[in-house]
Structure 1
Amino acid sequence: MMKNTDELLQRIETELEKLPLEQIEPQGLYAPVRYILEDGGKRIRPLLCLLSADLCGGKVSEALPAAIAVEVFHNFTLLHDDIMDRAPMRRGRPTVHLKWSENSAILSGDAMLIFAYQILSSGNYAELLPELLAVFNRAAMEVCQGQQYDMEFERTDREVSEAEYLEMIRLKTSVLLAAALEMGAIVGGASPAERRALYDFGVNLGLAFQIQDDLLDTYGDAETFGKAIGGDIAVGKKTFLHIAAMAAASAEQRAAIWAPGDMDEKLLRVRGIYDALGVRSAAEAAIERYFTRALASLRRAHEDADRLAVLEKYAYSLLKRTK
């Protein structure tokens, strides 16, 4: 029987709290790991892993090591991303490289990556470990590829196409969601077809989720979004909205999009151009398109609609978010 998401989230938090990060030395290495893991986050990836295992008939307890490994890996990527982006804040708190140092953040991130493999290998599923590692390794490498594309897009003066952008966010965001679902399915004893369906569900859900994030950064509410609106516009980030606008804009509009200005003025100016070009509607249509594909893939994973209901409901909640 499918578990309640609140119950599963509590299991995830309890498991994270059990990690012996306060008992091992040197604390200069492990305190930053504890800091980034304890500051919350939505726990989307481990929750999807557990829901997938449960959907496929497995025990949540057996899937917990895989779920926690994915969450530790995800936070490792955030720690290193924050260094590359020179980000000052993460989830409302100073980032690790500012609270400690860049060197500490790099080394603690390296330790987190190793820690993720140790956790994954500790599960009570020895015969499944080669398959789990294959999925995990593939996703880990693809996340790095996505991050490299993201950095290259930021450095280039040329316009990035929608297809290039979608491939970048598939690698950087979607594949880890998909891998979490596939790993849960493996622990749950799913067939290859069920595993593929859940993986495809994760890929399309991730695409919809990231485009939604782009949309919220421009049209969201600062209080509920948790950070200032317009950050992507301020730094000229090539988001889905920016790419759609540049494809449809006149030369004058393109110049106005790129023109400097303070954050509030530039947000109003660029958002006005987006409105004139119908960019918000284009983003909302893309979100709906990928979400529809995600649900179609999910429904191929299991014939029992009642057992799919919890995952469907959770997927809807991710796309109805305001932060």
Structure 2
Amino acid sequence: MSVFEKLIDKAAREVLKDCQPRTLFAPAEYILSMGGKRLRPLLTLMAADLFGKNAEEVIDPALAVEIFHNFSLVHDDLMDNADLRRGYPTVHKKWNENSAILSGDALVIEAYKYIAKVPAGVLPDILELFTTTAMEICKGQQYDMDFEQRLDVTEEEYVEMIRLKTAVLIACALKIGAIIAGAPAEDADLLYEFGINMGLAFQLKDDLLDVYGNPKTFGKKIGGDILCNKKTFLLIRALKNANDRQREELDRWLTATEYDPDEKIKFVKNIYDELNLKFAVENLIEKYYLASLDYLSSINIADDHKGDLITLAENLMYREK
């Protein structure tokens, strides 16, 4: 664990600690204590460091991003009726649905308390960025739910949905660090675009792992997106490229109300294999990954100072969880 990761982990475990009533705050502490990648706050610290700012001076907004992210996970899991998050029972399974809703709300409020701690001179810009990002994430989540009821979702619509639902918070985390560090506006914007493209690649990888990952390392059950009829790139491309037999099979599984979950996952995955969709998604991941590196290389900072961000992006692209 790096110095930055230790700093984030220690600070995150103090959020809402021992607050009362425990029935409200214990679920919020629980989701924060799971750890996970801590990717977004790490990016805030790395972005600030890139422009010469001490990590301790940006830990509060970094925590705000992490707290907000965890709020979104609590509500996302509830909407998806997911059983596991990071290998642990989801909040609504460990407690109940009402606890998940209310503790999620508490996390949003706490996130804004931490954002409000940034220096007064940059607070308006950061607050506008953070609030815009929060609303974009809600839009992305709504599109994701809307798409579950449609069979005509396009690849372009899907990319826009994951840009909103996932990529914008990664980009926001980076830009917050850059703004606090006093980075030139052009460089802060380039770092934001680096985050958008890395976020798109990150979500595509997540979708791929949901079908082809190892459940022991992935931290949740494989095939969850298939069972929810989520319009991932895999399913959208499958519906587009399927022959008559494959389309008939897909339609049958997508409209079935009673089925064996393992059987549905097996049959849909088999169609993905027949259409060589794993390779297609891997190519798209590579496209966005390379685009992210192009934006990073354009930032007016010596290349040898960008090594940690390049390594992180590479690790995300080739991760197994």
Please indicate, yes or no, whether the TM-score normalized by the shorter chain is above 0.5. Answer: yes
* Greater shift in the superposed pair: 214-223 or 198-207: 214-223
| Contact 1:236–1:258 (Cα < 8 Å) also in 2 | no
Residue equivalent to 1:161: 154
Give unpaired runs (5+ residues) of structure 2. 254-258
Report the alpha carbon displacement of residue 94 of structure 1 after superposing the two structures with TM.
Answer: 1.9
| Matching of residue 251 in structure 1 with residue 244 in structure 2 | yes
Residue equivalent to 1:317: 315
1:119-167 Cα offsets, whole Å, 9 max, x none, are 11123x11111111011011000000000000100123x3210000000
1:208 pairs with one of 201, 204, 211 = 201
TM-score by length of 1: 0.94
Report the alpha carbon displacement of residue 291 of structure 1 after superposing the two structures with TM.
Answer: 0.3
| Matching of residue 7 in structure 1 with residue 9 in structure 2 | no
| Contact 2:16–2:25 (Cα < 8 Å) also in 1 | no
Whole-Å separation in 2 of the counterparts to 1:118 and 1:235: 35
* Greater shift in the superposed pair: 158-167 or 211-220: 211-220
Report the alpha carbon displacement of residue 270 of structure 1 after superposing the two structures with TM.
Answer: 2.5
Residue equivalent to 1:57: 52
Report the CA distance shift for 1:258/1:228 in structure 2 as closer, same or farther (over 3 A): farther
| Contact 2:201–2:284 (Cα < 8 Å) also in 1 | yes
| Matching of residue 136 in structure 1 with residue 122 in structure 2 | no
| Contact 1:302–1:308 (Cα < 8 Å) also in 2 | no
Residue equivalent to 1:300: 298
Whole-Å separation in 1 of the counterparts to 2:218 and 2:86: 10
Report the alpha carbon displacement of residue 20 of structure 1 after superposing the two structures with TM.
Answer: 4.4
1:172-197 Cα offsets, whole Å, 9 max, x none, are 00000000000000011111110111
1:91 pairs with one of 86, 89, 108 = 86
Report the alpha carbon displacement of residue 111 of structure 1 after superposing the two structures with TM.
Answer: 1.2
Whole-Å separation in 2 of the counterparts to 1:302 and 1:43: 27
What one-letter code is carried by the residue in structure 2 that aligns with 1:143?
I
| Contact 2:227–2:265 (Cα < 8 Å) also in 1 | yes
Give unpaired runs (5+ residues) of structure 1. none
Whole-Å separation in 2 of the counterparts to 1:263 and 1:307: 48
What is the percent sequence identity of the aligned residues?
Answer: 49
| Matching of residue 48 in structure 1 with residue 43 in structure 2 | yes
Query: 5 Å matches for 1:17-36?
Result: 17-22=13-18, 24-36=19-31
| Matching of residue 111 in structure 1 with residue 109 in structure 2 | no
Name the SS of the counterpart of 1:245 in structure 2: helix
Report the alpha carbon displacement of residue 272 of structure 1 after superposing the two structures with TM.
Answer: 2.8
Report the CA distance shift for 1:192/1:272 in structure 2 as closer, same or farther (over 3 A): same
TM-score by length of 2: 0.94
CA RMSD after TM alignment? 1.5
Name the SS of the counterpart of 2:264 in structure 1: helix
Whole-Å separation in 2 of the counterparts to 1:118 and 1:303: 32
| Contact 1:175–1:203 (Cα < 8 Å) also in 2 | yes
| Contact 2:208–2:278 (Cα < 8 Å) also in 1 | yes
Name the SS of the counterpart of 1:46 in structure 2: helix
Whole-Å separation in 2 of the counterparts to 1:26 and 1:133: 29
* Greater shift in the superposed pair: 168-177 or 187-196: 187-196
| Matching of residue 289 in structure 1 with residue 282 in structure 2 | no
1:151 pairs with one of 132, 136, 145 = 145
Residue equivalent to 2:186: 193
> What is the count of residue pairs matched by the alignment?
316
What one-letter code is carried by the residue in structure 2 that aligns with 1:11?
L
Report the alpha carbon displacement of residue 303 of structure 1 after superposing the two structures with TM.
Answer: 3.3
Name the SS of the counterpart of 2:205 in structure 1: helix
* Greater shift in the superposed pair: 261-270 or 171-180: 261-270
Report the CA distance shift for 1:234/1:138 in structure 2 as closer, same or farther (over 3 A): same
Whole-Å separation in 1 of the counterparts to 2:221 and 2:82: 13
| Matching of residue 178 in structure 1 with residue 178 in structure 2 | no
Report the CA distance shift for 1:263/1:99 in structure 2 as closer, same or farther (over 3 A): closer
Report the CA distance shift for 1:19/1:225 in structure 2 as closer, same or farther (over 3 A): closer
What one-letter code is carried by the residue in structure 2 that aligns with 1:47?
L
What one-letter code is carried by the residue in structure 2 that aligns with 1:258?
D
Name the SS of the counterpart of 1:259 in structure 2: helix
